[in-house]
């Protein structure tokens, strides 16, 4: 089974986190799918729990952000008993690519060009059972996704509402007339004048761009 995964790049600031002696691991194989399917996974990076920090978004290269989310997916947190997403994919018998992409736009790369475009469904990694967030990556960007399902971190935990801001540099999911969803704003990642952020779990298009 070939499964490629997407990540929503984010700086998530949690008010607190509680260590669990035997945490429930994120689930990387959706229950609803059969054994011959393809799909994407998405998560919001949680640096507070995993001690994986991205303190600025001033690098103009999309490769930098793709590398960051790939590091997060490969790391886990042994101190809290969390395995990495990549190791869970391998243990589940998933074959094919384990590439991860940031949902972000830089001055030279739009998010819509950075993430994969094949029309496969997008799932979160909810540790109580993955849920479909969007039917395709295009729908994820350009149609309101199921936002209540869009705010899970790499450990399968739902992030609480704490005014969490997520670096995207990307235009709204549902564009205004003349807008271009999935493309860079005037403040993309790498901009010296600040970067556009989304927020979780805001509704409508604010999950990519709070305006």
Domain range for 191: 40-207
Q: Is residue 96 part of a domain?
A: yes
70-77: long-range contacts, CB 8 A cutoff, minimum separation 24: 70/99, 70/100, 72/7, 72/45, 72/100, 72/154, 73/5, 73/7, 73/43, 73/98, 73/100, 73/154, 75/50, 76/50, 77/49, 77/50, 77/51, 77/155
Compute the distance between CA of residue 198 and CA of residue 171 in angstroms, rounded to an integer: 10
24 located within any domain: no
pLDDT at residue 21 above 50?
Answer: no
- Per-residue pLDDT tens digits for 134-189: 888 888 887 765 566 777 888 888 877 655 678 888 887 665 555 678 899 999 99
**Is there a domain that residue 133 lies in?**
yes
Instruction: Classify residue 172: in a domain, yes or no.
Output: yes
Give the gyration radius of the chain's Cα atoms. Answer: 16
| pLDDT of residue 3 exceeding 50 | no
Number of domains in the chain: 1
Per-residue pLDDT band for 24 (boundaries 50, 70, 90) equals: confident
Look at residue 5 and tell me if it is in a domain.
no
Residue 34, in any domain of the structure: no
For position 204, what pLDDT does the model report? 56
Tokens 């450990």 sit on residue: 155
Question: Tens of pLDDT along 96-114?
Answer: 677 899 989 999 999 999 9
Q: How far does Cα 175 stand from its chain's mean position?
A: 20
Question: Is 33 inside a domain boundary?
Answer: no
Which tens digits make up the pLDDT trace of 174-197? Answer: 655 556 788 999 999 999 888 888
Q: What is the distance between the alpha carbons of residues 124 and 150, in angstroms, rounded to a whole number? A: 7
Q: Is residue 149 part of a domain?
A: yes
Please report which confidence band the pLDDT of residue 6 belongs to, taking 50, 70 and 90 as the band edges: very low
């Amino acid at each position: 089974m070939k499964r490629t995964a997407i990540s929503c790049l984010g700086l998530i600031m949690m008010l607190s986190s509680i260590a669990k002696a035997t945490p429930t691991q994120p689930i990387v194989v959706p229950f609803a799918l059969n054994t011959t399917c393809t799909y994407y996974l998405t998560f919001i990076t949680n640096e507070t729990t995993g001690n994986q920090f991205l303190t600025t978004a001033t690098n103009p290269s999309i490769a930098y952000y793709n590398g960051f989310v790939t590091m997060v997916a490969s790391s886990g947190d042994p101190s809290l008993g969390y395995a990495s997403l990549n190791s869970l994919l391998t243990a589940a018998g998933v074959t094919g690519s384990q590439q991860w992409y940031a949902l972000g736009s830089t001055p030279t790369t739009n998010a819509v060009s950075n993430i994969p475009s094949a029309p496969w469904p997008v799932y979160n990694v909810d540790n109580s059972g993955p849920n479909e967030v969007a039917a395709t990556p295009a729908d994820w960007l350009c149609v309101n996704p199921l936002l209540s399902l869009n705010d899970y971190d790499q450990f399968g935990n739902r992030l609480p509402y704490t005014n969490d801001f997520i670096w995207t540099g990307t235009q709204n999911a549902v564009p205004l007339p003349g807008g271009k969803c999935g493309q860079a704003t005037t403040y993309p990642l790498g901009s010296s004048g600040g970067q556009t952020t989304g927020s979780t779990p805001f509704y409508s298009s604010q999950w990519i761009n709070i305006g």
